[in-house]
Structure 1
Amino acid sequence: MTQATLDLGVIGNGSFGALIDDRARVVWSCLPAFDGDPAFCALLSPRDHDAGDFEIELEDFERSEQAYLTNTAILRTVLYDRHGGAVEIIDFAPRWRQNDRFYRPVSIMRKVSPLSGNPRICVRLRPLADWGARLPEVTWGSNHIRYLLPGFTLRLTTDAPVRFVREEIPFVLSHPMHLLLSADESLTRPLALFMHEAQERTTHYWREWVRYLSIPLEWQEAVIRSAITLKLCQYEDSGAIIAAMTSSIPEAPHTPRNWDYRYCWLRDAAFVVRALNRLGATRSMEEFLRYIFNIATHDGSLQPLYGIDFAEKLEEHEVESLRGYREMGPVRRGNLAWVQKQHDIYGSVVLASTQLFFDLRLADPGDADTFRKLEPLGEHAFALHDEPDSGLWEFRGRADVHTYTGAMCWAACDRLAKIAGHVGLQDRDAYWRGRADTIRERVLAESWNSELNHFTDTFGGRRLDASLLLLSDIGFVDADDPRFVATVEAIGRDLKRGDGLFRYIAPDDFGSPETSFTICTFWYIDALAAIGRHDEAREMFERILARRNPLGLLSEDLSFEDGEAWGNFPQTYSHVGLIIAAMRLSRSWQDAS
């Protein structure tokens, strides 16, 4: 078996997701939802079983090619053997509008077709249970196989010989074959016809969704792929947006920095919402606000992250049954960051909500009652703007008063003032404007270091971190403010290495960071453009685009040395950064005429 990489494709439909390698092998999928048991966990090296995948193995395999069908989340892989044979595999999760709702079952659909020669294949469907610890019980019938997982039963319905699949017997593929892996429900229609219609309807859904995106003139393919990827990371039952689909892909080789990202960080989700809003895909914002209103306490207090089902406690445990990505453990389930104090999240949520009040396209825009639901978040922001927290980088061993936290708390109050004025509540406009001004004055006084001539990461501090690049984006300072320009230049001097950016360089609980944090690189590119270094920003952006995997996807981190992808995948943060930078840098559509 070849060494695992993050040259993976992703399919999904708003209910679950699956990662597929360049040989069309499903190597990661948690079922029946993002936070479920990883029935397909080969990506993290099961300790006791050579399983955890769904493979179409081509005998005498030589090479493969892979691409998405244009403007869809449907993946096409072609496998070639050494004798002129070729096999096409189409993978997708069905999604379309039906009866005034979206049809999005937990289902992987695979169509396998011969293209040339006499290809000989073997179908290996080997899910595991309890985080790779055991093989599930298996039953079968005339045209199906059932896998009994904890709390969920998978059924494979197929027109391939069931015994060949069950016993992994190789056979010559002489005609198209269909594999429908879904919940344990009987299919009452002809399988080939059903899957053909499902592919057509899913193709139509994605192309219509893309059609209404407000994309920039340049880098359209990259922006569209990033937008689809962000859409795939929203769990529509609740509106939660996960940070990534995986757990425990390390940020660098052999580092203990490997975490479970299959949950909803309010900050990350808010970034996703703002990016999709800029593209005109506002439904995600409305669904995310539904999620927020379900988790907000009566006094508006929030923790940094929650489960996709609103769970508050996400206890962190090490999983012994999985060795880890390239056997670089530990593998973690749960994330202890839920107990941390990260006060910037109040600003994140209010920023993500603001467009709800100003976008005339929305069928149900925000009103005074909606505004009042957000006010408790502003009260927390004001009370906590100068209190120590773990910051957006989630330091586990220290707490400080972070500049970014203070600026985001200002953003909460600033936007509440603007919303209040918009909905005609002038007294609340004045109230929140006063609070915003108080915070801004304090943050500017405490975070500017005149000796070093740049903003610092903490009140009274001396260090830099990449979050300072966002001070202009959120409106805290103007892009042409000499203090911001000087800070961008200092960050380029101290945090930039080649074409990547550290989020910070000071050692933390786990030592010194080793890889570039991809969204920080995009923040830097965006800031360069904002301060007028447009050509430099474009050149750097083009080089980072070249670091995407062959399908246009990004993980959390990139190696400075060879550009290899590390960290959880696909990372919503990274794709947000790509979209925002592309929209900033692109030439106007008028230039195309």
Structure 2
Amino acid sequence: MKKKKHIYPHAIVGNCAFLAYVNKNTNIDWMCWPRFDSSFIFGRMLDQRKGGEFSILPDDDGGFSSKQYYIENTNVVRTEIETSDGSYRVTDFAPRFYQNDRYYKPLMMIRKIEPLSGTPRIKVKCNPVGNYGEIVPEAHRGSNHIEYLGLEQNLRLTTNISLTYIEDERGFVLNEPKYLVLTYGAPLEASIERTSERFMNETILYWRGWVKSTSIGNFYQKVIIRSALALKIHQYEDTGAIIAAGTTSLPEAPGSTRNWDYRYCWMRDTFYTLNAFNSIGHFEEVEQYFQYIANISVQESERFQPLYSISGEKSLIEHILDLEGYMGNQPVRIGNQAYEHIQNDVYGQVLVSLLPLYIDNRFIIDERAGSHKLINKMLGLINKTLDEPDAGLWEFRTLAQEHCYTNLFQWAGASAALKIGRHLKDDEIISQAEDLVSRSTEKIEKCWDDERGVYTQAIGSKHLDASTLQMIMMNYIPHNSDKAKSHLKNLEMELSADSGLFYRYKHADDFGTPETTFLITAFWYVEALTCVGRIEEAIKIFEELISFENHVGLLSEDVDAESGSQWGNFPQAYSHVGLINAATRISRKLDKPSFL
């Protein structure tokens, strides 16, 4: 029997201070305040009973239909509800715009409700919670607001809707625009209607201006724009950190127990993320991320962790919460034990990420301040860990190997440092980098399986791994070589699935054999195809991959190859990074622009 297709029914809004997940049924299913990694204020995504509610639903049991879409080139979302009595529209956004020489990005969620046809009757429910559903704050009525007391700071809902209707959860006729402004800490004291409209217009203008400042070719522009907008609001602007996803414990596959907290910043993905922002010409985000990395490097004397909190905190102790879980999938985890793992590719990732500071003339000398010391530090850490088995890119919890991917990024990092050393005419950097390039190459070649003509997952392993697609993309294997073609062919035969999807690996790990494909590896596959000159195939598969977006163009972490279902944390920033990088790679290879 064919599996039922599962698609996440959410759009996200955000302002680089927080994210909110808006269900097609109007409920805010997930929103964490005051930070990305704080407890949810609304969390029905993980528990229908403890997750609270913030919905704007029809006041009848007659059923309704809905459609959801973004206002073009913005992170402002609209949800339209059609009932037998009429229709209405909810516009949701997190204010963000330039004001007083800085970005205004308050902990404020604004919801505008307006009638479209007929005389719709609606019911508004606002029931926030704290400490992952363990705290239910007390609601106190004010003149035009409801105060929710009992959390770290007070929540306030300011509105021009009758407070009685909200407190009693009674239906009312919607015959004029209404506004709901939810704030954390500092409340809204200004005019509800005028302020909400001004903030909405300013936010729309901001996002459209941001899009216009991107450098995007003609190849699937709209798809890249949506991915860029999604990626942007995964950056916590206060520190520059970029999280993998705004959610926790959405399962990689139903019943798999592969339910992880992704609200942190992984150092291993530094290169890919910065490459994506570079590709679309957004240096402000790159510079902020550089600052985050620089601050991490100052606090670490021995080795880097694979991931840190958005503030650079090191201890991310994993806990299991007493929550139902997404569609009943447990456990629900906060924190991530992977912070304890050894992943030695991170030093190479940092060095490759530093390279543009030296070879891209758009960066000025002052922006390289402190990086010279960081280069020496990273080379020293590569030297120290070159012969050390690690948990690898996929964070195996009970398997330590000398991973090909780790050695590849040690090689790539040393190669980047060599270019920087030559640019600086620094003989010490040049000498150390040359030695590490040679030694890491020897390690990589120990992963070559001459009989099959493929690089394996690790030294002494027969398993294949999608991460070794990077051997081609990072220019370790010449693109036009027989070796590149043989390596890619073997990976295709073992790890590819329908529609260009790709498994990370096929062998059992700590939690069994992976059931779903990992979406970013499919975009790596597109890049590898492009590199070896199989452009038509790359375009065809790219087109198939973007069909796995949800209704508003957002991508999940994983996809079930059989049903096309979205699984894993959502939206996954790195899936959108993969899309941007793959599209950029194809665009650069095309002889002439084409509107597809």
Assess, with a 3 A threshold, how the Cα gap between structure 1 residues 206 and 31 changes in structure 2: closer, same or farther. same
Confirm or deny: 8 A CA contact 2:262 2:569 kept in the other structure.
yes
Assess, with a 3 A threshold, how the Cα gap between structure 1 residues 513 and 95 changes in structure 2: closer, same or farther. same
Measured in 1, the distance between the counterparts of 2:438 and 2:210 equals: 40
For residues 419-568 of structure 1, the aligned pairs below 5 Å read 419-444=420-445, 446-499=446-499, 500-568=501-569
Confirm or deny: 8 A CA contact 1:276 1:282 kept in the other structure.
yes
Confirm or deny: 8 A CA contact 2:7 2:550 kept in the other structure.
no
1:82 and 2:77 equivalent?
A: no
**Equivalent residue, structure 2, for 1:353:** 354
Deviation at 1:353, TM superposition (A): 2.3
1:69 to 68, 71, 74: 71
**Equivalent residue, structure 1, for 2:585:** 584
1:25 and 2:27 equivalent?
A: yes
Deviation at 1:363, TM superposition (A): 5.4
Measured in 2, the distance between the counterparts of 1:552 and 1:258 equals: 23
**Equivalent residue, structure 2, for 1:340:** 341
Task: Kindly provide the amino acid, as one letter, of the partner of residue 12 in structure 1.
Answer: G
Assess, with a 3 A threshold, how the Cα gap between structure 1 residues 224 and 82 changes in structure 2: closer, same or farther. same
1:69-105 residue CA offsets vs partner (Å, 9 max, x unmatched): 111100011111023x110111100111122211101
Assess, with a 3 A threshold, how the Cα gap between structure 1 residues 576 and 492 changes in structure 2: closer, same or farther. same
Assess, with a 3 A threshold, how the Cα gap between structure 1 residues 298 and 128 changes in structure 2: closer, same or farther. closer
Deviation at 1:264, TM superposition (A): 0.9
1:16 to 18, 23, 35: 18
Task: Kindly provide the amino acid, as one letter, of the partner of residue 57 in structure 2.
Answer: E
Measured in 2, the distance between the counterparts of 1:364 and 1:183 equals: 40
1:174-216 residue CA offsets vs partner (Å, 9 max, x unmatched): 1000111112334332111111111111111111111111112
**Equivalent residue, structure 2, for 1:38:** 40
1:406 and 2:407 equivalent?
A: yes
Measured in 1, the distance between the counterparts of 2:574 and 2:240 equals: 17
Measured in 2, the distance between the counterparts of 1:431 and 1:112 equals: 62
Task: Kindly provide the amino acid, as one letter, of the partner of residue 84 in structure 2.
Answer: R
Confirm or deny: 8 A CA contact 2:309 2:316 kept in the other structure.
yes
Measured in 1, the distance between the counterparts of 2:476 and 2:77 equals: 42
Aligned to 1:181, the other structure's residue is in SS state: strand
Deviation at 1:484, TM superposition (A): 2.3
Aligned to 1:327, the other structure's residue is in SS state: coil
1:251-280 residue CA offsets vs partner (Å, 9 max, x unmatched): 001111001111111123442222111111
Deviation at 1:591, TM superposition (A): 5.1
Measured in 2, the distance between the counterparts of 1:7 and 1:480 equals: 43
Confirm or deny: 8 A CA contact 1:55 1:125 kept in the other structure.
yes
Aligned to 1:546, the other structure's residue is in SS state: helix
Deviation at 1:369, TM superposition (A): 4.0
Confirm or deny: 8 A CA contact 2:129 2:136 kept in the other structure.
yes
Deviation at 1:429, TM superposition (A): 2.7
1:451-501 residue CA offsets vs partner (Å, 9 max, x unmatched): 121001101321100000011222222222322221111111001121211
Aligned to 2:382, the other structure's residue is in SS state: helix
Assess, with a 3 A threshold, how the Cα gap between structure 1 residues 197 and 537 changes in structure 2: closer, same or farther. same
Confirm or deny: 8 A CA contact 1:315 1:334 kept in the other structure.
yes
1:225-284 residue CA offsets vs partner (Å, 9 max, x unmatched): 111111111111111111100000000011110011111111234422221111111112
Assess, with a 3 A threshold, how the Cα gap between structure 1 residues 199 and 345 changes in structure 2: closer, same or farther. same
**Equivalent residue, structure 2, for 1:293:** 294
For residues 144-183 of structure 1, the aligned pairs below 5 Å read 144-183=145-184
**Equivalent residue, structure 2, for 1:127:** 128
Confirm or deny: 8 A CA contact 2:83 2:120 kept in the other structure.
yes
477-486 or 100-109, larger mean C-alpha shift: 477-486
Confirm or deny: 8 A CA contact 2:219 2:593 kept in the other structure.
no
Measured in 2, the distance between the counterparts of 1:426 and 1:209 equals: 42
Task: Kindly provide the amino acid, as one letter, of the partner of residue 63 in structure 1.
Answer: S
Aligned to 2:320, the other structure's residue is in SS state: strand
Deviation at 1:410, TM superposition (A): 1.1
Deviation at 1:368, TM superposition (A): 6.8
Measured in 1, the distance between the counterparts of 2:348 and 2:511 equals: 28
> Between the two proteins, what is the percent identity of the paired residues?
38
**Equivalent residue, structure 2, for 1:226:** 227
Confirm or deny: 8 A CA contact 1:368 1:423 kept in the other structure.
no
Aligned to 1:94, the other structure's residue is in SS state: coil
Measured in 2, the distance between the counterparts of 1:405 and 1:266 equals: 13
1:311-349 residue CA offsets vs partner (Å, 9 max, x unmatched): 1111111101x1100011110011000000000111112
Confirm or deny: 8 A CA contact 1:356 1:365 kept in the other structure.
no
Give the TM-score, by structure 1 length: 0.95
Deviation at 1:366, TM superposition (A): 4.1
Measured in 2, the distance between the counterparts of 1:498 and 1:302 equals: 37
Measured in 2, the distance between the counterparts of 1:562 and 1:369 equals: 49
Measured in 1, the distance between the counterparts of 2:122 and 2:593 equals: 51
431-440 or 254-263, larger mean C-alpha shift: 431-440
1:149-183 residue CA offsets vs partner (Å, 9 max, x unmatched): 53132111111111111221100001000111112
Assess, with a 3 A threshold, how the Cα gap between structure 1 residues 177 and 337 changes in structure 2: closer, same or farther. same
Assess, with a 3 A threshold, how the Cα gap between structure 1 residues 13 and 368 changes in structure 2: closer, same or farther. closer
Assess, with a 3 A threshold, how the Cα gap between structure 1 residues 588 and 131 changes in structure 2: closer, same or farther. farther
Measured in 1, the distance between the counterparts of 2:114 and 2:430 equals: 63
Aligned to 2:67, the other structure's residue is in SS state: strand
Measured in 2, the distance between the counterparts of 1:39 and 1:367 equals: 40
Assess, with a 3 A threshold, how the Cα gap between structure 1 residues 373 and 543 changes in structure 2: closer, same or farther. same
Assess, with a 3 A threshold, how the Cα gap between structure 1 residues 100 and 307 changes in structure 2: closer, same or farther. same
1:30-89 residue CA offsets vs partner (Å, 9 max, x unmatched): 11110001111100124x54x522101023442111111111100011111023x11011
**Equivalent residue, structure 2, for 1:569:** 570
Confirm or deny: 8 A CA contact 2:6 2:565 kept in the other structure.
no
Task: Kindly provide the amino acid, as one letter, of the partner of residue 33 in structure 1.
Answer: R
Task: Kindly provide the amino acid, as one letter, of the partner of residue 283 in structure 2.
Answer: T
Measured in 2, the distance between the counterparts of 1:411 and 1:169 equals: 62
Equivalent pairs, count: 585
Task: Kindly provide the amino acid, as one letter, of the partner of residue 19 in structure 2.
Answer: G
**Equivalent residue, structure 1, for 2:214:** 213
Confirm or deny: 8 A CA contact 2:401 2:458 kept in the other structure.
yes
Confirm or deny: 8 A CA contact 2:318 2:333 kept in the other structure.
yes
Task: Kindly provide the amino acid, as one letter, of the partner of residue 70 in structure 2.
Answer: Y
Confirm or deny: 8 A CA contact 1:285 1:353 kept in the other structure.
no
Assess, with a 3 A threshold, how the Cα gap between structure 1 residues 369 and 272 changes in structure 2: closer, same or farther. closer
Task: Kindly provide the amino acid, as one letter, of the partner of residue 479 in structure 1.
Answer: H
Give the TM-score, by structure 2 length: 0.95
Confirm or deny: 8 A CA contact 1:25 1:55 kept in the other structure.
yes
Deviation at 1:365, TM superposition (A): 5.3
Assess, with a 3 A threshold, how the Cα gap between structure 1 residues 549 and 226 changes in structure 2: closer, same or farther. same
Aligned to 1:406, the other structure's residue is in SS state: helix
Q: Unaligned 5+ residue runs, structure 1?
A: none
